[in-house]
Chains A and B, each alone.
Chain A
């Protein structure tokens, strides 16, 4: 028996010692290790519920300017009832007409969020003027918990194809907006969000994060959800700041797919020990991101009740 085993072992050694066979084995193992490196982090965090006792804040992007003035208060109440802790809003104001409809809507929104004790995150877009920022922060700055300076600056300066910011443009625009925000001495935490493209322009989050309280990462599509643990860990390592998922959603008419995507993301991000995840959007007139009135909203509410403290 031992002679048979010995001859089998010798045969195996002779076979694998051939250069061609050895190359094939090495290449196959390389491919296997590569798959493990890519997929193991996602599988690790999503296979079991880790960090169950950590605090996790679920937020939502509310496009209140698409609703009527009379609807806004009720919508904020619905968002609160579902358990959301943060409402993320776009920069909407008319500095020239004090009682303009959009200003009334913004007043209404802050009135509701103050009443329900919801935190508000304001997005200051890339092209915003300092005068408008000053007007907004003078009038509503005290209501803000988070202020986002620029939106995915590494991606583009507008929605036009090829409209990329240069590094200098990003830094100078960021510094101007940052100085404007800082001059108001608000207690709000500052952050900037980045898309997956930050990987190719990593110097931008490294530079900007020095003045920020945390950094945001925006995740769309299943493929990037699977890869997100790698991106999140990398962003944490290079910026030395906490990462919050500031945009997370799926534009689809398939409610089951949307629910599945969002719930699996929430499970993953909580399991990773992140501080929070903000979903896009509550309402969305021009695409299918909005979860208002869909089974997804109910499912997210149930998830928050069970998992978010």
Chain B
């Protein structure tokens, strides 16, 4: 597989996961905030800024290790995940404000079209080792 294809696949997978989680969080936000306040609020914040970055970070390094035949990681899961989440959120915020677009389906589609550059960013943001660790 060529490098361009690997980056495209990596970006596509990460973007799809981010879109799905974002759409789900938007949909259930009110229900979380209304659930046994303030427990629901705490759970919502924990999912948004702890669980979600972990999922993204773990997925990213798993993809890198599989596609590039490496082992280990350079950047921690959470830090890598929050970086990709912040990149995604910043892009969406700018699209939303500058063009007054809704997240679903317009911004989500634009995000999908930007899979390749996002794959480059995701690949750059972490990496493994080609030789055995330790």
Q: Which residues of A contact B (CB under 8 A)?
A: 16-17, 19, 22-23, 26-27, 29-30, 33-34, 36-37, 40-41, 44, 167, 200-203, 206-207, 237-238
A202 contacts which chain B residues (CB < 8 A)?
33, 37, 41
A27 contacts which chain B residues (CB < 8 A)?
79
For A20, the closest partner residue in chain B by CB is: B74
Pair B34/A206 contact, Cβ less than 8 Å: yes
Pair A33/B75 contact, Cβ less than 8 Å: no
Pair B34/A207 contact, Cβ less than 8 Å: yes
| Contact status of A22 and B126, CB under 8 A, knowing A33-B90, A37-B89, A44-B98 | yes
Pair A30/B79 contact, Cβ less than 8 Å: yes
Pair B125/A26 contact, Cβ less than 8 Å: yes
Name the residue among A22, A26, A206, A207 with the largest chain B CB count within 10 angstroms.
A26
Contact partner, B37, options A16, A23, A29, A203, Cβ 8 Å: A203
Q: Is B82 an interface residue (CB 8 A)?
A: yes
Q: Which residues of B contact A (CB under 8 A)?
A: 29-30, 33-34, 37-38, 40-41, 74-75, 79-80, 82-83, 86-87, 89-90, 93-94, 97-98, 124-127
Pair B33/A23 contact, Cβ less than 8 Å: no
Pair B86/A33 contact, Cβ less than 8 Å: yes
B74 contacts which chain A residues (CB < 8 A)?
17, 19, 22-23
For A45, the closest partner residue in chain B by CB is: B97
For A44, the closest partner residue in chain B by CB is: B97
B90 contacts which chain A residues (CB < 8 A)?
33, 36-37, 40
A237 to B103, CA, bound (A): 12
Pair A40/B38 contact, Cβ less than 8 Å: no
- Ordered by A's residue number, 5 sampled pairs between the chains whose C-beta atoms are within 8 Å are A17-B127, A27-B79, A33-B90, A40-B97, A203-B34
For A239, the closest partner residue in chain B by CB is: B30
B29 contacts which chain A residues (CB < 8 A)?
237-238
For B76, the closest partner residue in chain A by CB is: A23
Count A-B pairs with CB separation below 8 Å: 68
For B34, the closest partner residue in chain A by CB is: A203
B89 contacts which chain A residues (CB < 8 A)?
33, 37
14 extra interchain contacts, Cβ-Cβ under 8 A, other than A203-B33, A238-B33?
Answer: A17-B127, A30-B82, A33-B83, A33-B89, A33-B90, A36-B94, A40-B90, A40-B97, A44-B97, A201-B37, A202-B41, A203-B34, A203-B41, A206-B34
A33 contacts which chain B residues (CB < 8 A)?
83, 86-87, 89-90
Name the residue among A22, A37, A201, A202 with the largest chain B CB count within 10 angstroms.
A202
Q: Report the minimal beta-carbon distance from B40 to chain A, rounded to whole angstroms.
A: 7
Pair A238/B30 contact, Cβ less than 8 Å: yes
A35 to B25, CA, bound (A): 22
A203 to B74, CA, bound (A): 41
A238 contacts which chain B residues (CB < 8 A)?
29-30, 33
B97 contacts which chain A residues (CB < 8 A)?
40-41, 44
Pair B93/A36 contact, Cβ less than 8 Å: yes
For B44, the closest partner residue in chain A by CB is: A202
A17 contacts which chain B residues (CB < 8 A)?
74, 127
A238 to B40, CA, bound (A): 14
For B37, the closest partner residue in chain A by CB is: A203
For B89, the closest partner residue in chain A by CB is: A37
For A41, the closest partner residue in chain B by CB is: B97
A23 to B125, CA, bound (A): 8
Q: Report the minimal beta-carbon distance from A199 to chain B, rounded to whole angstroms.
A: 9
A201 contacts which chain B residues (CB < 8 A)?
37-38
A19 to B127, CA, bound (A): 8
| Contact status of A22 and B86, CB under 8 A, knowing A201-B38, A203-B40, A207-B34 | no
Contact partner, A200, options B41, B75, B86, B94, Cβ 8 Å: B41
Closest 5 CB pairs of A and B: A33-B86, A19-B74, A203-B37, A202-B33, A33-B90
